[in-house]
């Protein structure tokens, strides 16, 4: 079996478990804020709840997402500098430790509960950003010239299945397990993430083609910082547009799903479980993500897919203003937009950054933008709600107004990307086969220049060779035109 499929399976399982952890708190919001009926002192089935304010609850996501963003950009640079394996081994234990702190937070004294859970979120955020960057970097290496969109789609759909599982599972289990029981289940999931990260790093290290493309950074902190800025200046403008749009689009969707269970309970009088199920629709519909990946691989036009994803988000937010529209419908629009975005944005970054030493930094920038957007707009949402909710339903209208502005901003950036892509060579419009035809000869020529004495099968392993090893070509060193014309997606 080709090495890339076990790696993708491991990444998929890692994404499932990691996203499960990232979405545990929205489902438990009423237990964390002490608003569930079971938190009352005279309740027969009283639970061990926390009493966080809405602002404190939203600050958990602000801290987690900011640290996730910082972890992503740092991990991207370190992976480009030292390789995926070392970074993965170094950070694998942070996530179980963070979840352990969150799990024990209900047992500590009341004044210490919030600081303990914040420290846990810090560790979870650092691990989340690091692992996302590393998995994207590995996929870009192993699938860069073949099923690129499909690989990112599999990652996306497994992540969303993890999120939908926590919404469905905890929506059913929280009345039976309570807050502490659910948090200990999450600790078990965190151990699975740790094991998956170590397995991914081990499998990738067995044939690490991307490691041969590692940045040659001079020794010394000053020279290394100069090199980072040099790499950033060399990234294409289209990539920066994708990164800027991510700040608004991902932040919009994240702010919505964090506050959706409370909004559905207030606006539609949903029970705790029903509100969680309905909010989870945003993730249930993303089972369609592999189809988006297949279409982008075979028909290209990633810029148009991004524009379409932004349009769906705008449609979902504006539909939510109508009180008679079922909340499941506009949540589904947002979910479809997120599915198209997840596949198109990550594969676009891979296309624009290429297989150079900037791959890790490029994916780190995307995660940094998403994390900062999540933090900014979630904190803004929390500030609006804590001041406006006492006034009644108008608080949720103000919340939706904020998301309307952010959704329109992301759509504007996507429109700019479409126009800019048309004026600069349409690199995002190419199919995977067209990308191979246009880039194979260039990469092989660079290889000949750097290693003029090596030819054919003696040449060092590269991402291009890795992608097509096992397709019947003994050597592609002297046949890039054949490679481009005969390539079939296996």
d(CA 161, CA 154): 10
Q: What are phi and psi of 32, to 5 degrees?
A: -75, -35
Q: When comparing pLDDT for 311 and 44, which is higher?
A: 311
Q: When comparing pLDDT for 145 and 275, which is higher?
A: 275
d(CA 488, CA 230): 37
Name which of 161-175, 182-196, 260-274, 427-441 the model is least confident about: 427-441
Judge contact between 101 and 119, C-beta under 8 A. yes
* pLDDT score at 361: 80
Q: How many CB atoms lie within 10 A of CB 92?
A: 21
Calculate the dihedral angle through the C-alpha atoms of 299, 330, 279, 285, rounding to the nearest 10 degrees. -30
* pLDDT score at 249: 92
State the maximum Cα–Cα separation within the chain, in Å, rounded to a whole number.
81
Which of 157, 162, 147, 164 lies closest to 342, judged by CA?
A: 157
Q: When comparing pLDDT for 473 and 446, which is higher?
A: 446
CA 324 to chain centroid: 32
* pLDDT score at 401: 92
Instruction: Work out the burial of residue 95: count CB atoms within 10 Å of its CB; fewer than 13 is exposed, 13-18 middle, 19 or more buried.
Output: buried
Taking each continuous run of H as one helix and of E as one strand, the counts in the chain are 20, 0
- For the record, the structure tokens of 485 come out as 């014309």
Encode pLDDT of 54-85 as tens digits. 778 777 877 887 888 788 888 877 877 777 78
Band of residue 490 on the pLDDT scale cut at 50, 70, 90: very low
Q: State mean pLDDT over 365-378.
A: 85
How much of the chain, in percent, has pLDDT values that exceed 90? 16
- For the record, the structure tokens of 256 come out as 């919505």
| Its pTM surpasses 0.85 | no
Judge contact between 25 and 63, C-beta under 8 A. no
Rg (CA), the chain: 23
- Distant-in-sequence, close-in-space partners of 70: CB < 8 Å, separation ≥ 6: 126, 129, 368, 371
Q: When comparing pLDDT for 67 and 221, which is higher?
A: 67
Judge contact between 218 and 224, C-beta under 8 A. yes
* pLDDT score at 448: 59
- For the record, the structure tokens of 238 come out as 């289209």
Q: State mean pLDDT over 209-238.
A: 63
User: What mean pLDDT value characterizes the chain?
Assistant: 77
Band of residue 488 on the pLDDT scale cut at 50, 70, 90: very low
CA distance readout (Å), 380 to 258, 401, 444: 12, 12, 49
Encode pLDDT of 256-302 as tens digits. 988 888 888 888 888 877 887 788 888 888 888 888 878 887 787 88
* pLDDT score at 43: 54
d(CA 259, CA 381): 8
Q: Which residues of 173-212 are buried (b: 16+ CB within 10 A; e: fewer)?
A: bbeebbbbbbbebbbebbebbbebbbbbbebbeebbbbbe
Q: State mean pLDDT over 361-377.
A: 84
Q: How many CB atoms lie within 10 A of CB 81?
A: 19
Name which of 65-79, 377-391, 441-455, 461-475 the model is least confident about: 461-475
């Amino acid at each position: 079996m080709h090495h890339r499929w076990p790696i993708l399976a491991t990444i998929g399982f890692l994404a499932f478990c990691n996203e499960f952890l990232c979405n545990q708190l929205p489902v438990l919001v009423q237990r964390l804020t002490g608003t569930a009926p079971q938190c009352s002192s005279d309740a027969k089935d009283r639970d061990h709840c926390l009493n966080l304010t809405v602002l404190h609850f939203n600050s958990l996501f602000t801290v987690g997402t900011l640290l996730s963003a910082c972890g992503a950009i740092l991990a991207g640079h370190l992976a480009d500098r030292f390789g995926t394996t070392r970074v993965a081994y170094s950070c694998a234990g942070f996530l179980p430790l963070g979840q352990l702190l969150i799990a024990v937070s209900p047992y500590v004294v009341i004044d210490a509960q919030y600081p303990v859970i914040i420290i846990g979120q810090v560790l979870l955020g650092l691990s989340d950003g690091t692992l996302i960057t590393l998995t994207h970097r590995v996929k870009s290496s192993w699938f860069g010239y073949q099923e690129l969109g499909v690989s990112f789609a599999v990652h996306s759909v497994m992540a969303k299945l993890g999120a939908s599982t926590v919404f469905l599972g905890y929506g059913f289990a929280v009345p039976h397990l309570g807050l502490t029981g659910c948090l200990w289940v999450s600790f078990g999931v965190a151990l699975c993430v740790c094991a998956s990260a170590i397995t991914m790093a081990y499998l990738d290290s067995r044939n690490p083609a991307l490691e041969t493309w590692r940045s040659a950074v001079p020794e010394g902190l000053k020279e290394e910082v100069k090199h980072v800025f040099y790499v950033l200046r060399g990234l294409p403008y289209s990539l920066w547009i994708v990164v800027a749009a991510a700040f608004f689009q991902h932040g919009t969707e994240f702010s919505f799903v964090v506050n959706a269970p409370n909004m559905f309970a207030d606006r539609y009088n949903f029970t705790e479980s029903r509100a969680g199920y309905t909010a989870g629709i945003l993730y249930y519909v993303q089972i369609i993500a592999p189809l988006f990946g297949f279409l982008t691989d075979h028909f290209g036009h990633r810029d148009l897919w991004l524009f379409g994803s932004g349009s769906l988000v705008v449609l979902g937010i504006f539909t939510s203003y109508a009180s008679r529209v079922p909340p499941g419908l506009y949540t589904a629009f947002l979910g479809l937009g997120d599915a198209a975005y997840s596949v198109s944005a990550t594969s676009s970054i891979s296309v624009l950054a290429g297989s150079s030493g900037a791959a890790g930094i490029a994916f780190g920038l995307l995660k940094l933008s998403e994390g900062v957007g999540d933090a900014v707009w979630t904190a803004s949402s929390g500030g609006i709600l804590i001041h406006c909710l006492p006034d009644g339903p108008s608080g949720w209208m103000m919340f939706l107004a904020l998301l309307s502005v952010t959704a329109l901003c992301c759509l504007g950036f996507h429109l700019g990307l479409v126009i800019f892509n048309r004026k600069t060579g349409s690199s995002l419009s190419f199919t995977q086969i067209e990308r191979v035809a246009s880039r194979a000869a260039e990469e092989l020529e660079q290889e000949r220049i750097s290693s003029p004495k090596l030819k054919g099968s003696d040449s060092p392993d590269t991402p291009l060779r890795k992608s097509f090893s096992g397709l019947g070509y003994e050597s592609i060193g002297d046949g890039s035109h054949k490679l481009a014309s005969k390539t079939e997606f296996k």
